[in-house]
Amino acid sequence: MSDTAKATRFPAHTVTDSADCLICQLEEVDDEATVFRDDLWSCELPTGYEVPGWFFLRARRHALGWQELSQGELDSLGQHLKDLTGAVAEATGALAIYSMNFGESYAHFHVLVAARGADVPADRRGGNIVNLRGERLDRAEALKLVPQVRSAYRRALEGR
Ligand SMILES: [Zn+2]
CA of 65 to the centre of ligand 1 (A): 10
Residue 53's pLDDT band (cuts 50, 70, 90): very high
Strands, E, within 78-137: which ranges? 96-100, 110-116
Determine whether 83 is exposed, middle or buried from the number of CB atoms within 10 Å of its CB (0-12, 13-18, 19+). Answer: buried
At 8 the pLDDT is 80
- Do 101 and 110 form a contact (C-beta atoms < 8 A)? yes
Q: How far apart are CA 18 and CA 136, in angstroms?
A: 28
Q: What domains are there in the chain, each with its CATH number?
A: 3-119+129-158 (3.30.428.10)
At 43 the pLDDT is 98
Per-residue pLDDT of 118-153, as tens digits, reads 999 999 999 999 999 999 999 999 999 999 999 999
CA of 160 to the centre of ligand 1 (A): 31
Residues bordering ligand 1, an ion, CB closer than 5 Å: 18, 21, 23-24, 62, 108
Q: Indicate if the pLDDT at residue 2 is higher than 80.
A: no
- Do 106 and 48 form a contact (C-beta atoms < 8 A)? no
Q: Indicate if the pLDDT at residue 63 is higher than 90.
A: yes
* Sign, Cα dihedral of 71, 76, 82, 84: negative
CA of 24 to the centre of ligand 1 (A): 4
Q: How far apart are CA 43 and CA 142, in angstroms?
A: 13
Q: How far is CA 73 from CA 3, 58, 70, in A?
A: 23, 10, 5
